[in-house]
Amino acid sequence: MPDSVENLEIWREGIEIAKMAYQVTSSWPKHEQYGLISQVRRAAVSIPANIAEGVGRRSRREAARFAQIALGSLYELETLFYLSSELGYVERGVFRKLKERLSVLARRISSFVAYQEGEHDAA
């Protein structure tokens, strides 16, 4: 287990994605404040928060379990950004960049889960 969650690249990237979510949603219509904006921000914050909670429990099993929850939040966020793009709140180019960053982070979190579950020992 890492000394601090701040040493984990997946946590740092999750923080960056959460910051991006706040920036992107800041210009959305006010009538979405308690709808889509709130959902996007909650899902985005949930990614690094769940990684931190899992690591904080000091168990590989718990780290893997909470990273899987973070992965679920990541896919939720991707879906919310897709919908936002369809509604015209996010430009297609911005959506593609967000989607690529989410895709890279999803692969990294999946690798982290596999490592925590001991799948690295099988090779």
Residue range 28-37, pLDDT digits in tens: 999 999 999 9
pLDDT band for position 2 (cuts 50, 70, 90): low
Cα–Cα dist 121/18, whole Å: 33
CATH code of the domain covering residue 78: 1.20.1440.60
By residue range, what is the domain housing residue 15? 5-121
Token readout for 43 is: 């899902």
> What is the pTM assigned to this prediction?
0.91
Number of domains in the chain: 1
Sign of the four-CA dihedral 35, 40, 54, 6: negative
* Percent over 70 (pLDDT), the chain: 93
pLDDT at 120: 55
pLDDT mean over 65-78: 98
pLDDT at 103: 98
